[in-house]
Chains A and B, each alone.
Chain A
Amino acid sequence: MPRRTDISSVLVIGSGPIVIGQACEFDYSGTQACRVLKAEGLRVILVNSNPATIMTDPEMADATYVEPITPEFVEQVIEYERPDALLATLGGQTALNAAVALHRSGALERYGVELIGASIEAIERGENRDSFKRIVDEIGGQTARSAICHSMQECLEAVEKLGYPVVVRPSYTMGGAGSGMAFDEDDLHRIAGTGLALSPSTEVLLEESILGWKEYELEVMRDHADNVVIVCSIENVDPMGVHTGDSVTVAPAMTLTDREYQVMRDQAIAVIRAVGVDTGGCNIQFAVDPATGRMIIIEMNPRVSRSSALASKATGFPIAKIAAKVALGYTLDEIPNDITGETPASFEPTLDYVVVKVPRFAFEKFPAAETSLTTHMKSVGEAMAIGRNFTEALQKALRSAEKPEAPFEFAAEPGEMGELLRAIARPYDGRLRDTVDALRAGADVEQVSKATGIDPWFVDQLALLCEVADDVRAIDHVTPELLRHAKRHGFSDAQLAALRGTRADVIRGVREALGVRPVFKTVDTCAAEFAARTPYHYSSYDEETEVSARERPAVIILGSGPNRIGQGIEFDYSCVHAAMALGDAGYETVMVNCNPETVSTDYDTSDRLYFEPLTLEDVLEVVHAEQQAGPVAGVIVQLGGQTPLKLARELEQAGVPIVGTTPGAINLAEERGAFGRVLHAAGLPAPKHGTASSYTEAREIAADIGYPVLVRPSYVLGGRGMEIVYDDASLSEYISRATDASPEHPVLVDRFLDDAVEIDVDALYDGHELYLGGVMEHIEEAGVHSGDSACALPPTTLGPEELLRIRESTEAIARGVGVRGLLNVQYALAGDVLYVLEANPRASRTVPFVSKATAVPLAKAASRLMLGSTIAELRGEGMLPASGDAVDLPADAPVAVKEAVMPFNRFRMPDGRTVDTLLGPEMRSTGEVMGIDELFGTAFAKSQVAAFGALPVRGTVFVSLANRDKRHMIFPVKRLADLGFDILATAGTAEVLRRNGVTADVVRKRWVGSEPDGTPTIIGRILAGDVDLIINTPSGTTVSGNPRADGYEIRTAAIQANVPCVTTVQGLAAAVQGIEAQLAGSVGVRCLQSWARRSVIRAERQATP
């Protein structure tokens, strides 16, 4: 049946900011959906608060609302746009929850909007534990024995029947938020208590422990004619007990016979039918008892999920794209399989390779957090690799994870067997490596399998790797046969070098001389049964390569690898834009990346896709293969963040042409001494600084420039390891704890500018002309990492004269460094001096935000500049405005506010409490949102709604401030009192307020325990929901994550009770403006396309002076 003709406009809801459990996989799925809907000629209306997404590019939809995904805002969009239908199954749990809320409020009915994809009934049947359990019973499946509880009392009663340990899962939360395993009653109180609070329906499920069972997932697709296919099976290497997002997973399933697989398949199909997901994809999870084969259905997601993205990349079957088509009424047999071009989508992909996904964690950002992996997802990203066998795929995936400690280490001493066996009984980041060490230390497959619960087949594969390593180590002279054998099992040159006591480049030389090189196979959905038209490749040490020859010059774009804090979707955005722009400019675009969640690894994004690790070895092989295939114009390393950037110099040394800013110029900006000379030559001031390779040197530098100083290792992204220290003692402690300072790894010591305004600039430079893309003013003061700070564009407090100074300084830096392409500069304005903090000649995290806020595609323009176009030419083409830049923004330009989203609620300390939430120089946010409106206050209010939930407009504010901040907050707190808020303050703060005419109730400055007279403490009042806004600036001097720092309990309680908590004076001023905007009732919605029309007028205005 062809597509429905009764729908002409569709509202798509995205997933909002990147958070743990909901990352850029939904940009991938949402982008696919938007493309499909537009191609079908429908009017596409999009709501997504995340500016770093491809889906919010203005050309992806007809009306793009970068607005908060709340029922109130989405309803405003519906009221204005009057869409025929709402597609909410491609934007994760956020979109699904918004759709359910709009249904419950009657908004969908009121405006006649039909929910397509999955009906409300199906969503509820699938997500409500009770009804889902009934459905599984009806279809003859089994679920874990369990009880639904709505109160702690019910939990305690239920556990008497189920026994400990018991799994706690809150309903309707994403990424398993709030779930955990309770081993005793204390655990139960803590986990179920939080779970009940987190669940929108105050509902948790307690169930029998199936810890240690084998875990599987099936991705299912159904059309309205009831054709159902299984797209992919996924097996978790980590058994039950670890969230699937935190598990090492494998596709296809490796340890099921056809009998068991088909029963699983039958049940999955029965479930999707019974739940009533009419059209689209869903994900069903199973557990299998390894001893008996008893199979249990764990849960289903009636929507596209993280696993769907993984399955799409693993099979070449684009689940979101097909889901969008079937939602429009097509049947699967009417949809062609893009990859073969000839066969239909109504089939089940079959793989002739193995796919392994490994999670990427960020525990180093939360040193106090407990590192055990549980049913509560903690990873911030993932890497996927494809190989012709499990060992090859696994080792490629581990080096794709881009952590030095991720790949197996076969050369070092493994440690003591008994100790290792005890350690690996608990799941944690790095367990797999210790599992290999246990084998190397003498444990056998059975012992290891018993200790970890990992299936013996997988353990045996690890044992195989150990045997290959032993062979490599033992042989006198490496033979081509042994080299090839090791390569077939995924050993990198670096691993082989370690085993042979030589360098990786020596192994590479030997390999090349012997002709031991990988071939590139194709992901084709059908195990070569039909010819593939889509060049989606992966490397393997096999016989025949499938890279075809080409005529047009290729540009190879290196992506950014797995998402992590500090390097996420923003960099993928720039890579995708380069692919689009260079494809349009006539190049053959070649993408190299290993992140399955991204748009860049969609085979539709570039002309060729190589799903490969971003290491020197793997990238050189791709470059080699492409040079064999035809002319290569160059490799782009500037757009994918630090990952490709750090390869630049070695690639150049290996003779690879790097386009854009040269590796030498990149080094000029990164290396402190050289950059200092650039600044000096341009007459630009920088904070006093020095480079130290020991504590003694660091202390001397600090004494010279004066405390406080900012210290950090060189060559990092995301402020990794960066701290502000106030004295010798903490400096010494920092050097010994956070770095191993040496001449090769120096520590940078900078004067810390207190009370400075921090400014972020993104610019383009072609060697002659500068295009200032955007100037962003940070809301938090200097000292908070730019990635964690909210910022406004255009800058709210800078005048034209300051902007011109910024422009001149940026141009001088661009010229001095030798930038061709993008440049990001961070400035601090203190006492009318514009200090240069740092310059990065690459795409920055803010490029997508600036592009959205100003309607100028900076990354596209940058990629063209790298290939030799000039800014003048791009102005002529219309890619850049005909004249002017961010300095010339008109008075009526909208204000865009970017706000960071923090993952604190995901991380707990060993005692179960959440980690501290204080912002510091080390970046810890996972994502961002944008609020855009006429005025700063409204835009800020929107950004807060999108990031955290609305600011309160009435109620009680609790104020507790550091002494140095008290002067600055009198006015904003007085304003809050005038607006009708009740003020609650600690004694010192209350006294200052009283003298300024603000009445405040005094709370004793005692955070724990109860008051002697029995009145609740401030913590108790926060947890009880008596407080609506918390203002707490730290009075301690340490921001290093020490949990005893003053105010920790308050901020933790704020997280637990989900109360907005402002931790800086500047943040408070912004919050007050936001609250005023909300009280004025003037917060409306407006699409980017409408805002952009102002920019067009601006360009014309400027063109005709």
Chain B
Amino acid sequence: MNKGLKFLIVLALQLTMITSASAQSAGGSTNGFVIGLIVLGVLLLVWAIIAITDNLLQIEAGKAGIDTEKNNMGLFPSVKSVFSKNTPAFAQNDHFVRLNKGYNLRLEGEAEKVDEGNAHVTRFAVSPYDFRGISPIPKVVVEVGDEVKAGDVLFFDKKNPDVKYTAPVSGEIVDITRGAKRSISNVVVLADKEQQYAQFDVPSLDASREELVDFLQASGAWSLLNQRPFDIIPSATAIPRNIFISTFDTAPLAPSTHILLDGNEEAFAKGVEVLSKLTSGKVHLGLDGKSTPSAALSGINNAEIHYFSGPHPAGNVGIQIHHIDPIKLCDDVVWTVDFQDAIILGRLFKDGVYNTSKVVAVTGAELNEPKYVKTYTGANIGELVKDNLANDHIRLISGDVYSGDKKSEDDFLGFRDNQITVVEEGDNYEMFGWLLPISPRPSISNTFPNFLYPNFKFRADTNTHGEKRAFVVTGQYEKVLPMDIYPQALMKSILTQDMERMEGLGIAELSEEDIAICEFVCTSKTPMQQILRDGLDMMREQL
């Protein structure tokens, strides 16, 4: 394939020799500029001939039925193969995407070991707030004092009564808390020491899609699924074009895949198999392309493997969808499933019980000992961090520092969250903090010496480091968002409520966690996630 390139180089060299020879023979009076123009013209002509040949070859190849995007049929090596680093050996046969844009925020307080045995969390809750698209006051079918098994129905949405939301653990209902306007905020279960599971009659995987959907809705596993765009509980009628699972998380302090996967390999494979029956397309798995993946992931059946290598947000499923098979417009339907939720789904089909056991990373610089904890969905946050806080002036976040939710000790882990992050509240004044910062702080800007210490771990606090301003700096979002999207134009179209433009600029492809990195770097401190959600809500009402 390099022949064409070599030919071109030799030709260019010959041309320069000829022209320099002719320049010498003509003596000093020749205008160098004119010769330059002639050389340029000749080169352009040669280039045009080669380009046409190259195009003709590609067209012929296309006619012969060869996929010209995957197989290079032109004269030249593709730009990618010349400039990009080689694809690692383990990913040779799969789709490999190298992402250069993004930023890895390194924070102190990474969890390393799993805390064995000492699962002292007693209270668990399911919150209707965690399910977007259901009404704020669902029908609660249990009362305080009732005993439930894991998998028993707790509540359902009155508009969509088939979809049940079930108990993550067995035990006694101790509280049903209410939030603003009498909405239900939490249904709290005091867990039994020995878990009791409701036994389900699992349909065989050869059953019709309707049967599977009915089973999922009745068992509570439907709530594990997420429909994009908008991040809502999937509608039973819209068949997803594809289902995407990201098997790794690149967010700051996120739990690592091998710990989540440990001992759950079979369940995950089963979960993927179940999902493959629910879509009209494929299940796409996004794997970390930085290191050799576990054989349980790379050798999985019923799914297509894609490798992603790059800084955060390479592990976000939204970014991966964009590079695999983008969500087209707002009426396009795909599903995404969280990695651990796919394991829970697999367990349901493997063992016939709704076992929400999961590993949660308790992380952050303000903890005595960051660690992994084996617990269940919706664990109480206060109990998770009990006796572990090094500081009392802190913020508890369910999720990561980019897109997690601010919680108090009485609150519970978000339904889909696998992580708690504890950071210091930064409500202090800092003298000339904008000019001469005293403590190191994360930034993508090279005005800080951060770029000299790429492996430094920060102890970040929640200070905004500046006040909100109008959009001034440009190009900073594009630097960290590896998508073909113009975030600033999109934000402006949302602020001006221009729906057509929003859709055209790709609002359907985004979710808060994808745009969060842009919000982090924003010099003008724009609340981008909030603006994006406003836009998504606007679009959802339209549909």
Q: Do A and B bind each other?
A: no
